[in-house]
Chains A and B, each alone.
Chain A
Amino acid sequence: MTLGGMFDVAIVGGGVVGCAVTRRFVLEGAKVVLLEKGADILSGASKGNSAILHTGFDAPPDSLELACMQAGYAEYMEIRERLRLPVLETGAIVAAWTEEELAKLPGIVAQAHGNGAADVRLLTRAEVLAREPELSGRVLGGALVPREHVIDPWSAPLAYVLQALANGGEVRRHTEVLGGRFADGAWRLETSGGPVEAAYVINCAGLYGDVVDERLTGATAFSIKPRKGQFVVFDKAAAKLLRTILLPVPTERTKGIVVTPTAFGNLLVGPTAEEQESRERAAVDEPTLRMLADKAAELVPALAGMPVTAVYAGIRPATERKEYRVRVEAERHYIVLGGIRSTGLTAALGLAQQAWRLYARPHAAPAAPLWPQAPRLAEHGPRDWQSPGYGEIVCHCEMVTKREIEAALDGPLPAQDYGGLKRRTRAGMGRCQGFYCNARLAEITLGRFADPLAVGAEHA
């Protein structure tokens, strides 16, 4: 017998895609287990991104990617209030800085209209500057994308999983899928946490999509080409300098470097697009970080000298081809959602719908599913410290309360490492980066993390 009995579906990988798929299948009535090798969900590509909810205005026409982005966008908007997920309504401007870029704008608007973003329109230089007066006067014009918005990239997938858990789903962390066999209509997966049996498997392993494909089916149709993106986050004082997401005119290879507000009240510049071998190392380097900060100050001159709050990098699960690598093997009860390169935060809910359609087996959906609430992390919404009884403010830069930290350490999916705690609360992510609160956090989290903040007691 395997632990937990027979599942209808085992989902491999708790990135944003796996979290969304888990939610969808639970809400459709399937008995689901999510298997994640990391200490927490969001251990891979989904850990660091630009946090933009894309309309798909510039996506490849008629692609699965576009369809999933549109469906994902729509579903996010539909469910967000019930899950208490934020949207920072920024809109975006694709800004042209050269005559060549200016000449491309009408084509971008036409493509946007073709992609269903009918509200996208050209802005004159004066209109761009009227909307964003801190922008460099070198700007020549732009295209406005009114519905391109910013979300909280961590609370969204967390909320998907929390809803799955609240409605009978199961999540196993520290559980790596090592291999599996399909026989007699069911899978038997070998994992680092013991065997798991499920009728159906959905591979959402992101940066390891090809590896898991290989482990399960003995072959893979794609190979992951990790593509790193570094970011610089400016101080909250920068937030007033830009209200709209500032996009560059895209090139064939990348969406390019973006300057954008964040849901946490900062301003962000990035990402780069750097091919690398490693699927794990999201390292930053000084010359690149300087380049990004300089680039931001070139576009928004008042950013020169603005204090930097944080730096980070994320890795895109790109493949040798641009498009999503989605494949279903109906006889083998297997779906792979692979190569969800640079739009997965947006498309996740749409990909989950797509996976459900491909799966095509009936279940009895719960009549009145529960809707748990995501933590209140967005700066523009109410925060926990604003209501009494919070105990103490532990992280002063991000105003994180003891009550929030305790909730993140308990609850149905407790944080099991510092990264997980930060993503659930924002603790330690502010301008002092733990100068004031790190030791207190070490004390509060004592005995909770496999990788603890403190290595032990001091020896006086």
Chain B
Amino acid sequence: MLDVAIIGGGPAGIAAALTLKARGVRRVAILEREAVLGGVPRHCGHPPFGLREFGRILTGPAYARRLAALAEEAGVEILPRYSVTALQPGGVVQAATPNGAATIRARRVLLATGAREAPRAARFVGGDRPLGVLNTGALQAYVHLHGLAPFRRPVVVGTELVGLSALATCRSHGIRPVAVVEAGARPVARWPLGLFPKLLGIPTYFNDGIEEIRGHGRVEAVRLRGGRELTCDGVLLTGRFLPEASLARLSHLALDPGSLGPVIDQYGRCSDGAYFAAGNLLRPIETAGWSFREGAAIGGYIADDLAGGLPAMEESINIVAGEGVKFVVPQRLARVTPLRGRLQLRVEAAISGRLRVSSEEAVLYKRRISTRPERRILIELDEMRPPREARQLVVEIVP
């Protein structure tokens, strides 16, 4: 029996493992379905990674290697090519392993399976279904892990940060994007990064999207909603992140329809107290550095819990995403005073108003806010004193 089984060896999972070992927890294992640890940074061939963790700027692959080495040095049991297939109540997980199917039991299980971009099908992009339609993650794996190019002249969809980093990846690997298409009226990434396509001389079409992909065999062209036809040999769909929550979705754990990740409390504890979750599985998305720190913090809470130190779950307050708010993480707060940690939220559309947390009539927190989708919004919990009888807090943005 393991003390802690960590599913996913990305920044969040590794950070949790390191904390657990540092706290003296004996048997900590990382179950990772790939052959090596590191997670998504393994194929992000560009800086900046690791500034906070290592005090220097690294490329993604270098950062991933350092994390993997640390886990090894710390005595974490590393189980590569362990693909977890099912979660069962009380900390029992099923996995496909190089030696066949296995059942793994642990006192606590941490889910740290990360996030990915929405593929074409989930976006309902119309047209033919030829080769050459990919997400950034796949592009990065082509060029950085396998030395291959999936296309030479793609149309790039989306201007989140990852879309811009995709342009950089293209440029440094002999791929010349034909155009950038963005559904919104301006770049999603913050100024001045949003100017990046312009600097590269790539035409950018706002308020537009792909109506139809054309191609027999391989992508030959796309037609935009605005009517424009673009000749290209690929389509790169960037951003629109989704937590990789399939294990949780198929299991007994509660899922948040807003974040699309598991429901957790301020300790990262899921609806079954044997399970915790951390990293970009919790919400779309944060940086690797954030995921690392979050993993470290939640690893600490797991150590507390093993030592019998976490407040009971039964007394929780539910956090509700109200008007203007897409999701709030955590979705539950175990009742303690003072509250520690923070709420993370995101909005669906650009909005200005007052961000407010209330319990029935009582307003516990408010501030002016003007924000847009994919911007990080935080509320420190230690500023809040929920009434003793509060059952739920509503987080909303009101005019």
Indicate if the CB atoms of A460 and B122 lie closer than 8 Å.
no
Indicate if the CB atoms of B217 and A451 lie closer than 8 Å.
yes
Chain B 218-260 residues near chain A, CB threshold 8 A: 218, 233, 242, 244, 246, 249-250, 257
Chain A residues within 8 Å of B81, by CB: 392-393
Instruction: Please tell me if A458 contacts chain B, counting CB pairs below 8 Å.
Output: yes
Given A290-B124, A443-B148, A458-B143, verify A436-B119 contact (CB < 8 Å).
no
Indicate if the CB atoms of B246 and A397 lie closer than 8 Å.
yes
A323 → B minimal CB distance (Å): 31
Q: List 12 A-B contacts (CB under 8 A).
A: A290-B124, A385-B101, A386-B100, A393-B33, A433-B122, A436-B116, A440-B145, A442-B150, A443-B148, A455-B150, A458-B175, A459-B149
Chain B residues within 8 Å of A307, by CB: 122, 242, 249
Indicate if the CB atoms of B129 and A454 lie closer than 8 Å.
no
A363 → B minimal CB distance (Å): 39
A304 → B minimal CB distance (Å): 9
Instruction: Please tell me if A64 contacts chain B, counting CB pairs below 8 Å.
Output: no
Chain A residues within 8 Å of B147, by CB: 457-458
A413 → B minimal CB distance (Å): 20
Chain A residues within 8 Å of B141, by CB: 436, 438-440
Q: Interface code A167-193, partner B: CB below 8 Å = 1, 0 otherwise?
A: 000000000000000000000000000
Identify the closest chain A residue to B211 (Cβ).
A286
Which stretch in B130-138, B178-186, B278-286 binds the other chain?
A: B130-138
Instruction: Please tell me if A280 contacts chain B, counting CB pairs below 8 Å.
Output: yes
Taken together as a complex, chains A and B put the C-alpha atoms of A460 and B233 apart, in Å, by: 19
Chain A residues within 8 Å of B131, by CB: 418, 451, 453
Instruction: Please tell me if A235 contacts chain B, counting CB pairs below 8 Å.
Output: yes
Chain B residues within 8 Å of A457, by CB: 147-149
Instruction: Please tell me if A289 contacts chain B, counting CB pairs below 8 Å.
Output: yes
B8 → A minimal CB distance (Å): 11
Taken together as a complex, chains A and B put the C-alpha atoms of A449 and B290 apart, in Å, by: 41
Indicate if the CB atoms of A385 and B96 lie closer than 8 Å.
yes
Q: Which of B33, B81, B134, B141 counts the most chain A CB atoms within 10 A?
A: B141
Chain B residues within 8 Å of A235, by CB: 246, 249
Instruction: Please tell me if B63 contacts chain A, counting CB pairs below 8 Å.
Output: no
Indicate if the CB atoms of B233 and A455 lie closer than 8 Å.
yes
Chain A 229-272 residues near chain B, CB threshold 8 A: 233, 235-237
Instruction: Please tell me if A308 contacts chain B, counting CB pairs below 8 Å.
Output: yes
Chain B residues within 8 Å of A433, by CB: 119-122
Q: Which of B100, B124, B173, B217 counts the most chain A CB atoms within 10 A?
A: B124
Which A residues fall within an 8 A CB radius of B?
233, 235-237, 280-286, 289-290, 305, 307-312, 385-388, 390, 392-393, 396-397, 399, 418, 431-436, 438-440, 442-443, 446, 451, 453-460
Indicate if the CB atoms of A283 and B83 lie closer than 8 Å.
no
Given A308-B122, A399-B96, verify A459-B129 contact (CB < 8 Å).
no
Indicate if the CB atoms of A455 and B249 lie closer than 8 Å.
no
Indicate if the CB atoms of A285 and B212 lie closer than 8 Å.
yes
Instruction: Please tell me if B352 contacts chain A, counting CB pairs below 8 Å.
Output: no
Chain A residues within 8 Å of B174, by CB: 458-460
Chain A residues within 8 Å of B101, by CB: 385-386
Additional 16 contacts, C-beta under 8 A, given A451-B131, A460-B143 = A236-B246, A237-B250, A311-B121, A311-B124, A387-B100, A388-B100, A392-B35, A399-B85, A431-B119, A432-B244, A439-B138, A439-B150, A446-B148, A453-B150, A455-B150, A456-B148
Chain A residues within 8 Å of B121, by CB: 233, 308-311, 433
Indicate if the CB atoms of B126 and A283 lie closer than 8 Å.
yes
Indicate if the CB atoms of B246 and A237 lie closer than 8 Å.
yes
Chain B residues within 8 Å of A418, by CB: 131
Indicate if the CB atoms of A458 and B246 lie closer than 8 Å.
no
Indicate if the CB atoms of A280 and B138 lie closer than 8 Å.
no
Indicate if the CB atoms of B148 and A439 lie closer than 8 Å.
yes
Identify the closest chain A residue to B141 (Cβ).
A439
Indicate if the CB atoms of B149 and A455 lie closer than 8 Å.
yes
Chain B residues within 8 Å of A387, by CB: 100
A332 → B minimal CB distance (Å): 34
Instruction: Please tell me if B54 contacts chain A, counting CB pairs below 8 Å.
Output: no
Instruction: Please tell me if B276 contacts chain A, counting CB pairs below 8 Å.
Output: no
Instruction: Please tell me if B56 contacts chain A, counting CB pairs below 8 Å.
Output: no
Q: Which of A283, A387, A393, A439 counts the most chain B CB atoms within 10 A?
A: A439
Indicate if the CB atoms of A281 and B128 lie closer than 8 Å.
yes
Taken together as a complex, chains A and B put the C-alpha atoms of A434 and B134 apart, in Å, by: 8
Indicate if the CB atoms of B124 and A308 lie closer than 8 Å.
yes
A452 → B minimal CB distance (Å): 8
Chain A residues within 8 Å of B120, by CB: 433
Identify the closest chain B residue to A39 (Cβ).
B217
Instruction: Please tell me if B125 contacts chain A, counting CB pairs below 8 Å.
Output: yes
Chain B residues within 8 Å of A435, by CB: 116-117, 119, 135, 137-138
Indicate if the CB atoms of B173 and A460 lie closer than 8 Å.
yes
Chain A residues within 8 Å of B142, by CB: 438-439, 442, 454, 458
Indicate if the CB atoms of B119 and A393 lie closer than 8 Å.
no
Identify the closest chain B residue to A292 (Cβ).
B124
Given A235-B249, A307-B242, A457-B149, verify A388-B99 contact (CB < 8 Å).
yes
Instruction: Please tell me if B152 contacts chain A, counting CB pairs below 8 Å.
Output: yes
Instruction: Please tell me if B216 contacts chain A, counting CB pairs below 8 Å.
Output: yes
Chain B residues within 8 Å of A440, by CB: 141, 145-146
Q: Interface code B151-172, partner A: CB below 8 Å = 1, 0 otherwise?
A: 1100000000000000000001
Taken together as a complex, chains A and B put the C-alpha atoms of A439 and B137 apart, in Å, by: 9
Identify the closest chain A residue to B233 (Cβ).
A455
Given A453-B131, A455-B233, A458-B148, verify A386-B96 contact (CB < 8 Å).
yes
B236 → A minimal CB distance (Å): 12
Taken together as a complex, chains A and B put the C-alpha atoms of A435 and B122 apart, in Å, by: 12
Taken together as a complex, chains A and B put the C-alpha atoms of A455 and B151 apart, in Å, by: 6
Chain B residues within 8 Å of A233, by CB: 121
Identify the closest chain B residue to A393 (Cβ).
B83
Given A283-B128, A386-B96, A459-B173, verify A434-B119 contact (CB < 8 Å).
yes
Instruction: Please tell me if B203 contacts chain A, counting CB pairs below 8 Å.
Output: no
Q: Interface code B73-91, partner A: CB below 8 Å = 1, 0 otherwise?
A: 0000000010101000000
Chain B residues within 8 Å of A460, by CB: 143, 172-174
Identify the closest chain B residue to A439 (Cβ).
B141
Taken together as a complex, chains A and B put the C-alpha atoms of A263 and B250 apart, in Å, by: 17
B235 → A minimal CB distance (Å): 13
Indicate if the CB atoms of B127 and A284 lie closer than 8 Å.
yes
Q: Interface code B44-85, partner A: CB below 8 Å = 1, 0 otherwise?
A: 000000000000000000000000000000000000010101
Instruction: Please tell me if B311 contacts chain A, counting CB pairs below 8 Å.
Output: no
Chain B residues within 8 Å of A311, by CB: 121, 124
A308 → B minimal CB distance (Å): 5
Indicate if the CB atoms of A451 and B124 lie closer than 8 Å.
no
Would you list the 3 A-B pairs with minimal beta carbon distance, nearest first? A459-B174, A433-B119, A439-B141
Instruction: Please tell me if B98 contacts chain A, counting CB pairs below 8 Å.
Output: yes
Identify the closest chain A residue to B142 (Cβ).
A439
Taken together as a complex, chains A and B put the C-alpha atoms of A311 and B122 apart, in Å, by: 8
B184 → A minimal CB distance (Å): 18
Q: Interface code B355-386, partner A: CB below 8 Å = 1, 0 otherwise?
A: 00000000000000000000000000000000
A300 → B minimal CB distance (Å): 16
Indicate if the CB atoms of A399 and B146 lie closer than 8 Å.
no
A386 → B minimal CB distance (Å): 5
Chain A residues within 8 Å of B96, by CB: 385-386, 393, 399
